[in-house]
Amino acid sequence: MLDADNLFLQKSDELFQCGQFCAVFINPCIFHTGLFVLQPSMEVFNDMKKELKRGRENPDGADQGFICGYYPDLLDRPMFHPPPNGTKLDGTFRLPLGYQMDATYYYLRLRWSVPCGPNSVITFPGAPWLKPWYWWSWPVLPLGISWHEQRRQTLGYVEEIPAVLIQFATYLGIIVMTRLARPNFSKLCYRRSENHISLIQAGLKVIAVWSIVASYIVPFFIIPHTLHPLPAWTLYLFGSFALCSIAINAFLLPMVPVLVPWFGIFGSLLVMAFPWYSDGVVRALAIFGYAFCAAPFVWIAIVKVMASLQVSLEREAFFPRLGESSPPPGFNKLY
């Protein structure tokens, strides 16, 4: 029995030599049901149904708690060692830790150091939103790319490809259209009323700020969640750039300050994906140091964007009076 987040490093056919029930203790006192061997038995099945009706104590209300309660003495059972002649054992056994290596062990040293048993299977317990099949789990958790490589070699990504192509074409169209429409994109008409100008400017500021924020949020949620991380992050960066171009061209904002978060995200991916850290502590310190150094640049970019937005909204070229002819496109360059 396997959870979907198991990652096999080598063949583990010897598990079929185990007895009636075998599982791994990744917790000192509670075995893990992400991988276990269970010999089919109507007798055991019927007895389990009776235990459910009887209301056996179940700490977590799921399969983990029930099965751990059904085999309470597994901790006292002998360790499983497959017979070299291929015969099948009888009874219940503890499996070596190498059959359920918690990915957390890897992140501390960035290498495996599991002394007991073969290092055969990796499991990914923890936060559900950081499971390895989600594209954003890498490079936050480096082992996610290994899970996707095995999927690429087996199932592939045929189901995700159409959505990726549609999004890429949409983003490309947005970049082209916003660039071509830039000379006339921001020319709004209104009847001059000093009482309403401040309200209009405040509303447009809110729209501009939220459009920039949405540019970095929307692509994240519409990318297929189970896409391979490399094309997914590429599509995210391309999509956020395309959506940022709308705000840049609509509100006549400077490109570099608006794209500072874009460069920051790209840099953080490089820092997290760097493969030559000596251990997980050095990697964590490098990520923290990068965030610490990048924070002032983000703050300066925010100040520049807000200042540029105020200047753009105060331009006569941005708010031509109703009925008056708009200045030529080159007029904006005089400010």
Q: For residue 94, is it left (φ>0), alpha (ψ between -120 and 50) or beta?
A: beta
Give 321's DSSP letter. Answer: B
* 54, 232, 238 from 224: Cα distances, Å: 43, 8, 15
Please list the rounded mean pLDDT of every run of 10 residues in the chain (335 residues): 89 91 89 92 93 82 86 92 90 92 83 72 87 93 90 92 96 90 55 63 87 96 96 97 92 93 97 91 95 96 92 63 47 41
pLDDT of residue 312: 80
- pLDDT of amino acid 272: 95
According to the model, what pLDDT value does residue 319 have?
Answer: 52
Q: CA 98, CA 7: separation in Å to the nearest integer?
A: 12
Q: Nearest CA to 31 among 66, 82, 81, 83?
A: 66
Q: Say how far apart CA 75 and CA 192 lie, in whole Å.
A: 81
Candidates 222, 206, 211, 314; CA nearest to 258 is 211
According to DSSP, residue 323 is labeled T
H-helix segments, 55-143: 63-70, 103-109, 137-140
**Residue 295, both tokens:** 């924070």
**Residue among 231, 208, 209, 232 at smallest CA distance from 220:** 232
Which residues 6+ apart lie within 8 Å of 311 measured at CB?
335
Q: What is the pLDDT of residue 332?
A: 45
